[in-house]
Structure 1
Amino acid sequence: MKLTTRLQLSLMMFIEFFIWGSWFVTLGTFLITNLHATGAQTGSVFSTQSWGAIIAPFIIGLIADRYFNAEKILGVLHLIGAGLMYYMYSVGDITAIYPESFFFYLLAYMILYMPTLALVNSISFNQMKDPEKEFSTIRVWGTIGWIVAGLLISYAFLWDSEESVKAGLMKNTFLMASVASLVLGLFSFTLPKTPPKVAPGTKVKVSDILGLDALKLLKDKNFLVFFIASILICIPLAFYYQNANPFLSNIGVTNPTGKMTIGQISEVLFLLMLPYFFKKFGFKKTILLGMLAWALRYALFAYGNAGELSFMLIMGIALHGVCYDFFFVSGQIYTNAKAGEKYKSAAQGLITLATYGIGMLIGFKTAGLITDAYTTSQTIFDWKMIWIIPSGIALVVFLLFAISFNEKKEKPIIDQSLKI
């Protein structure tokens, strides 16, 4: 790959995830503080990510793969997204956008944004001769983009400070996302050409788009157990996305958004360690460690505080790398190995639909209801119970998977699939 192409793709990934990190981490705090949203309303707004993930395959399968170059669609989607983000920032009185209305604005945005995650991957893969070796060095810039967004919010602009939050300055995160989206939208038209994968007029079945052909893999007991566990573990995952930033802000942690970037840093580090764990302990023990990490991190959140026990909160945040990489990345590798060449793409699509679609949809709904059940006023939350419950859910999933998954019947996963 030419250096100029590598720089283009790296910058594309950086801005792509900078945009998401600009507003998504602080969304819960913004909704609760500025829009006075209930837990259920907050869960509904966060569920726009799940609906976007469910609808995204249709945009990619019916439009991107058949009629237009990927880089052009990427540009158009981000330009429209920039407009939506700017509207959410610029509306005169932000409290006039009630949570119910805010849901529809963000739903429209996420339907546009979620397909771009697949598009940036497609554009990158199209320029690579050996994706297994080259992709990780490009994708890591996306994680760096997310980290930089969080650091800017906390340490440069101070938008998540108590004074700024009360003054309504957190809506500036949407402006930052809007500017970045505008930049990526224009920059996309300069990216390497990525023509449609499917010739116009070719018949495309819904089952192909959603990866439903991979349902045949569910006949395998182990894969069925993994599939169900993937959906269930997304329930506690949703609690983190929805409640972590409001929790840290509410209990008085300074620079909460900046501190949460520790999770992304650990994600990079543990991703590099993942091949070692696979070789040393195998798939089952690796994925069980990821599940157990979810239970442990929420227990740390439940009993930690912003004072002398703040180290427990930092440890909980730092466990994000184990939580995410050891379950979700391990699961993608396992799915890739189980599916084989014939169902590889379909299986990945099915798992994405199950986790970010169905699983997270259930998770955000559950997180909203639990949060409301343990909220006594706009600013008084029983955070201990709000975190103990998802910790318990993760522990139950851990135990069920440990009992039900029989690794002895599994074929060994090829080491080649672990190269990053």
Structure 2
Amino acid sequence: MNNKTKFQLSFMMFLEFFIWGGWFVSLGTFLGNNLQATDAQLAMAFSTQSWGAIIAPFIIGLIADRYFNAERILGVLHLMGAVLMYLMYQSTDFATFYPYVLIYMILYMPTLALVNSVSFNQMSDPAKQFSFVRVFGTIGWIVAGLLISYVFFWDSPEGREAGLLKNTFLMTGVASALLGLFSFTLPKTPPKVNRNEKVDISEILGLDALKLLKDKNFLLFFISSVLICIPLAFYYQNANPFLAEIGVENPTGLMTIGQGSEVLFMLLLPYFFKKFGFKKTILAGMLAWTVRYLLFAYGDTGELLFMLIIGIALHGICYDFFFVSGQIYTDSKAGEKYKSSAQGLITLATYGVGMLIGFWVAGKIADYFKIEGVHEWQNIWMYPAGFALVVAILFMLFFKNEKIAYKS
């Protein structure tokens, strides 16, 4: 790649994840403060991510891969997203807000695959070149959080009281419009599939990889992946409202520690994978969820604030050691024939089905432990902590260790 292409792809990734991190992290706090949404309604709003993940393969497989250049449909989706962001900015009640966020996530989730497609199409050696481009996405997410907390102070007690968190949608809308227009300048990425070729729905959804479930180890990993998404949903849905409610300053900015941790442990993952193997690495990821939620349950804004910070910083282990290790494991088990289908199936099962269940459960439990408008957070966090521990124990007992070839 030449320097111009590197800049284009890096800027694309920066904006892609700046947009997501610029509103999704503080969504729960916004809904509770600005729209007086219930925890069940929070669950509905966050579940739109899962519906987007379920519908995304159809948009990519049936439309983008068949009829349009990837960079063009990326541009159109983000321009439409900018309009929806402005409509969310103007919403004054949840009933008005929900249809907009649902449509937005159905349009946004396919763009995650599109930016990868545009990037890979320009790379001669993706294994070496992609990480440089992708890290700008994480930087974009971090910058969004820092702007919200430390530049605009929208999530400060005064900002929340004044309803300023709605400005996150305005900021994100501007970024989405910018990326929409910028996308039309990106290198051309033509359709991969002949439009006259027969549509295979099972291949698009990754269902032809279901044959891999005949392997008992992979079946156990698959089930564990779905189940571990339930405690994952608790973090996405409740972490920011929890920190804001108990009085932590700059909660959105503080949560960017998790993305910094993600970068660090992504770099350390090859070492852990080679040193301890797949089973121990993924077990560490599962147990980190339990430790994180126990830290949240017993930490506070006083002398025990460090417990909350450590809990946030564990995001790198929680996410990388389980989900990235899982992608590597899936790739090794699938072989060339089912490589793409297997990754699609895992994505559909985790971000689609698993997190859809997780958001619903998180909403129910948060609602149950809410008394006179105040959450009993210690009780709430004990549920995902215990659930992650049970999943880890079952995985430890029944998953048979096996060597996985991994090229870092």
**TM-score, with length taken from structure 1:** 0.96
Q: Which residue number corresponds to residue 8 of structure 1?
A: 8
**After the TM superposition, which of the residue ranges 100-109 and 322-331 deviates more from structure 2?**
100-109
The 1-side partners of 2:126 and 2:405 are apart by 16
Any unmatched runs of 5+ in structure 1?
none
Aligned partner letter, 2:293? Y
Determine helix, strand or coil for the equivalent of 1:334: helix
> Is the CA contact 2:264–2:316 (under 8 Å) kept in the aligned structure 1?
yes
Answering whether residue 66 of structure 2 is matched by residue 66 of structure 1, we say yes
Once the two structures are superposed, residues 238-285 of structure 1 have per-residue CA deviations (whole angstroms, 9 ceiling, x without a partner) of 000000000000000001100000000000000000000010000000
Q: Is the counterpart of residue 136 in structure 1 residue 131 in structure 2?
A: yes
Does residue 238 of the first structure (1) align with residue 233 of the second (2)? yes
**Aligned 8 A contact 1:271 1:321 in 2:** yes
Between the aligned partners of 2:41 and 2:406, the Cα distance in structure 1 is 45
Could you tell me which runs of 5 or more consecutive residues in structure 2 were left unpaired when the two chains were aligned. Answer: none
Quick check: 1:103 aligned with 2:98? yes
Q: Which amino acid counterpart does residue 136 of structure 1 have in structure 2?
A: S
Identify the residue that residue 387 of structure 2 maps to in structure 1.
393
Find the aligned partners of 2:265 and 2:4 in 1 and give their Cα distance.
Answer: 29
SS at structure 2 position matched to 1:159: coil
Residue 415 of structure 1 aligns with which residue? 406
Distance in structure 2 (CA, Å) of the matches to 1:414 and 1:6: 30
Please state whether the residue corresponding to 1:24 is helix, strand or coil: coil
Shift of 1:415: 2.7
1:303 to 264, 276, 298: 298
CA deviations over 1:283-304 (Å, ceiling 9, x no partner)? 0000000000000000000000
- Work out which of the residue numbers 361, 364, 373 in structure 1 matches 2:368: 373
- Separation of aligned partners in 2, 1:402 and 1:413: 17
| Number of positions where the alignment pairs a residue of Structure 1 with one of Structure 2 | 408
Please tell me whether residue 290 in structure 1 is matched to residue 281 in structure 2: no
Shift of 1:123: 0.3
CA distance in 2: counterparts of 1:414 and 1:293, whole angstroms = 24
Deviation of 1:32 after TM superposition, in Å, equals 1.0
% identical aligned pairs: 73
1:404 equivalent in structure 2: 398
Shift of 1:102: 2.0
Q: Is the 8 A contact 2:328 2:406 kept in 1?
A: no
Match of 2:252, SS state, is helix
**Distance in structure 1 (CA, Å) of the matches to 2:189 and 2:48:** 28
Counterpart contact for 2:263–2:316, Cα < 8 Å: yes
Question: What's 1:182 paired with?
Answer: 177
1:336–1:348 Cα contact (<8 Å) kept:
yes
- 2:320 paired with 1:328: no
Do 1:41 and 1:100's aligned partners in 2 also have CA atoms closer than 8 Å?
A: no
Deviation track 1:206-265 (CA, whole Å, cap 9, x = no partner) reads 101100010000000000000000000000000000000000000000011000000000
- For 1:197, what is the secondary structure of its paired residue? coil
Tell me by how many angstroms 1:324 deviates: 0.2
Say if 2:373 is the partner of 1:382: no
Deviation string for 1:318-372 (max 9, x for gaps)?
0000000000000000000100110000000000000000000000000000000
Distance 1:127 1:348 in 2: 21
Deviation at 1:29, TM superposition (A): 0.3
Matches of 1:353 and 1:415 in 2, distance apart?
24
Instruction: Look up the match of 1:159.
Output: 154
Choose 358-367 or 100-109, whichever is displaced more.
Answer: 100-109
In the TM superposition, what is the alpha-carbon distance from 1:36 to its structure 2 partner?
1.0
Whole-Å separation in 2 of the counterparts to 1:377 and 1:325:
38
